[in-house]
Chains A and B, each alone.
Chain A
Amino acid sequence: MTVGFVMLCHTALDRAAQVARHWAVRDCPVVIHVDRRVGAKPYGQLVADLADLPNVRFSGRHACEWGTWGIVAASQEAATVMLRDFPQVRHVYLASGSCLPLRPVEELRAYLDERPKTDFIESVTTEDVGWTIGGLDFERFTLRFPFSWRKQKWWFDTYVKLQRMVGFRRKIPAELVPHLGSQWWCLTRQTLSAILEHPERGKIDRYFQKVWIPDESYFQTLVRQVSSTVESRSLTLSKFDFQGKPHIFYDDHLQLLRRSDCFVARKIWPDAVKLYAAFLSDDRSRQAAAEPNPGKIDRLFAKAVERRTKGRPGLYMQSRFPNENFENGRTAGPYSVFCGFADVFENFEIWLSKASGTRVHGHLFAPDRVHFAGGETVYNGALCDSAKVRDYNPKSFLTSLIWNTRGERQCFQFGPADTQELNWFLTLDGNAQISVISGGWAVPLFHSNQNFGDIRREAARLQKIEQEFLNVLRSPYTKARVRVWSLADFIENPMEPLQTIIDEIGPRQGRRLSEAPRMADLTGFGQFLQNLRNQGMQPVLMGDFPVGDDPTPKSTRRGRPYLVK
């Protein structure tokens, strides 16, 4: 008893001939079907190439356009030839011209000998498959599809719409229950002949001729009626990408294919010289007779599909430039934005970097230049500190920075004196943690040695800008983690907010803050604000600072050794 191969070929006939010869000389009969659209010359060449082999036949030719009846008709006719001419065949294996046997034929034969009654064919009901292309699953069986999906797309779509509109439904004959599955099967003589000699075959064939993609449903459906033991999987390793195109194997997949323990793989790139040489040679060390295990290959291709459909979050590059809100993550990782903190605390950056173990930059969006951590002029990924380059495309600047520093959290200072172009971008980014001490910018003004008229003007300008920023942060679409304190509220009790922020940055650190940042001297700040008011400007963002009642933050609560002065 042996296994016979039916091969459906349409391109790379030299490779098909090589594989057919491999099987035929190992005592496996081969019936080859060549697409009718292949020219007479290459066909003649193929026939001549295999003329010396007594157990190779060619079957009548059909045009095999994707998704049409031709492929089923070809399989039927070739299978009939196989069953008629080679009585020693017990299993018939449907393969294509771009298939390659990965394991020696003897192993396949032994495997099938142990399972003489089993039909290997993927066959699942339409409710259970998630991979149908074109959004048609059960409708494949209830509508008519006389037009080619590839060549007559408009007619195809329009005719589907028309049938849906008028509520047309075909009746499924012979009490068939539609099943779908990979078109590459391996059936026993009993099952195959029962399908081919089905009493209602004429009716069934006529029905399937107008079903969409019958090659994935004809045998898959009928096998359920006639077979006693269906093993619903294909012995052929064949993976499809998200558009329903088969993945192709190349020389560099050699090890992966070896370890897959599958019997046959498709599709192989015709110029994969190493693969053909390796798998068609005789001196292959015999492996333990393992069950096919395509897990690694599955993962490889699943990853490829995910990269194509989802991509890497936060990456903007030449072949991934998502429209807004389709980014799957605006930036590559979480980062923190601090507004006003560096004004309220002295050396806040150094403190924060110690307390949180992250990279802390100065004002990245400062008008003079980019203030990278440590005063660097060039940073990760060779980002330069030129304000002009940054402002030319601030979004690229920020997303590049976060992308370049994947794995290391970035923190930076921000304020109303900085470029404000990214306000919406930051607000809508779920990776951003934005903490604002509103009115914090007034502290450096308070300490500055400028004429009061200039201070007043600057304060009015900054307050207006920060107010707009806060309005954006408070929008209903905000995705960032936003916290806003007024300056007055914050200095009342600075440790608790700081602890919350630090905990959120590194939740696993779990340590209490032992050292607090040193706060700027605010003696007389209430009077300063009153002076602004007296000059006709209304400072509102700082909160309530009564004149003369200078803030003296409470140093300890519940006895913890905070050192806030």
Chain B
Amino acid sequence: MGLLSSYRLRWHRRRLLIRAWLSRRDMTLVADRSAGQAEDAIFAFTTLRNEKIRLPYFLRYYRDLGVNHFFMVDNGSTDGSLEYLRDQPDVSLWQTGASYKKSRFGMDWLSHLLRRYGHGHWCLTVDPDEFFVYPFCETRPIRALTDWLDTTQIRTFAAMLLDMYPKGPITDQAYREGQDPFEIAQWFDSGNYQISRNRAYGNLWIQGGPRTRIFFDETPKKAPALNKIPLVKWHRSYAYISSTHMMLPRGLNLAFDEWGGEKASGVLLHAKFLDTFAAKAVEELTRGQHYAASAEYKAYQEGLSNHPEVWCKWSEKYINWRQLEILGLMSKGNWA
């Protein structure tokens, strides 16, 4: 790592932070209930659009884990998400009509909020369809994890995205508001991921899973990234680069062990393949607000029309985090 490249990365980070700062004008405050949060409160940061149906379970899940406060940005929802969130006692809400794409897929907005409210706190940045699973999550609240990370002086915690899907065509079972999405989407791919190291930013790049298997089997390079670093002890100088896949400064990306050992890590269960997905794919295609000209959604639509079932006979049925640990998708590391 030469002086020049570290200088370049420093400017990259500054640029991201400036973008985030400028994007504050896009957002209008709807409700700020963040005052009086404890010094060690744990925060969640989310941006969303038309996710009303998912929100009740999402909030319940993270409240149960022990998240103290939610910072959310609503990007022009028309389904009542805004009204619903406005009335939640532990949600601070902003509204924006600006372009999702132009704000680096919402990251500019969240970066601004992270910098302003997240400094010194453990911050979990997740989408409304991502559910954080970590070692011992059924017996230990998230604070047990963050306390342990604090004592071992770890600043970031990796959790790869694990796409969950139902058995049978994804439109067969309708998702009801408030329902646990993993009652329907119970299945996942256990061992078909491609991992490589991104030397420029020091992170791992993970692809694969059902999305590669079905939608990107001819163009695996274009398959979406699954590596994520959602849980960070935030400092105002940090910045996410693309979604929560990687960060600057680079050292934060080193959430994996290079010398043969295993660091602790979790998984983000991704409740994407529900019956709501087909409609979402059509909508996102017309909006064209997603990554790489929504190539992902194009591939999905083609894939889904001639291959409506994601499930295969080697799919694994989700039981709990221990199962994911045995399968090697996450690790306890030295947390016992």
Contact = CB atoms under 8 A, between A and B. Distances in A.
Interface of A: 241-243, 245, 247-248, 250-252, 269, 271, 300-301, 303-305, 307-312, 315-323, 326-328, 378-384, 386, 388-389, 392-393, 396-397, 400, 403-404
Tell me the dominant secondary structure on chain A's binding face. Answer: mixed
B217 A252 contact: no
Given A271-B141, A271-B144, A316-B195, A378 B336 contact: no
Contacts of B136: 250, 252
B263 A308 contact: yes
B47 interface: no
B328 A245 contact: no
Contacts of B218: 386, 388
Contacts of A382: 189-192, 210, 213, 312, 314-316
Contact of B259 (A307, A317, A322): A322
Most buried by B among A379, A386, A389: A389
Given A318-B206, A319-B265, A388-B217, 12 more contacts: A271-B141, A309-B261, A318-B204, A318-B256, A319-B330, A382-B189, A382-B210, A383-B192, A384-B213, A388-B218, A389-B213, A389-B220
Interface residues on B, range: 35 or more
Most buried by A among B136, B158, B329, B334: B334
Interface string B246-280: 00000000011111111111000000000000000
B327 to A, nearest CB: 8
Contacts of A380: 191, 314
A467 to B, nearest CB: 29
Contacts of B331: 307, 311, 317, 319-320
Given A384-B213, A384-B217, A307 B194 contact: no
A241 B151 CA distance: 12
Contact of B192 (A305, A316, A318, A381): A381
* Closest A-B pairs by Cβ, 10 of them: A381-B191, A308-B334, A319-B265, A304-B336, A393-B194, A382-B189, A404-B191, A386-B217, A252-B139, A392-B220
Given A248-B148, A380-B191, A382-B190, A321 B256 contact: yes
Contacts of A404: 190-191
Nearest to A400: B191
B212 A321 contact: no
A251 B140 contact: yes
Contacts of A323: 258-259
A252 B220 CA distance: 42
B139 A307 contact: no
Contacts of B158: 318-319
B5 interface: no
Interface in B281-336: 312-316, 328-336
30 contacts: A241-B334, A250-B136, A307-B262, A307-B334, A308-B261, A308-B334, A309-B261, A312-B262, A318-B159, A318-B195, A318-B255, A318-B330, A319-B158, A322-B257, A322-B258, A322-B259, A326-B258, A326-B259, A381-B190, A381-B191, A382-B192, A382-B314, A384-B213, A388-B217, A389-B220, A393-B195, A393-B220, A396-B194, A396-B208, A403-B328
A243 B216 CA distance: 43
Interface string B219-252: 1110000010000000000000000000000000
A297 to B, nearest CB: 9
Given A316-B195, A318-B330, A327-B260, A378 B152 contact: no
Contacts of B258: 321-323, 326
B177 interface: no
B192 A322 contact: no
Contacts of A318: 158-160, 195, 204, 206, 227, 255-256, 265, 329-330
B332 A271 contact: no
B336 A301 contact: yes
A400 B193 contact: yes
B194 A392 contact: yes
A316 B244 CA distance: 21
B25 interface: no
A403 B330 contact: no
A287 to B, nearest CB: 24
Interface string B134-161: 0010011101100110011000001110
A396 B195 CA distance: 6
Nearest to B315: A382
Contacts of A316: 195
A320 B335 contact: no
B197 interface: yes
B333 to A, nearest CB: 5
Contacts of B334: 241-242, 304-305, 307-309
Contacts of A326: 258-260
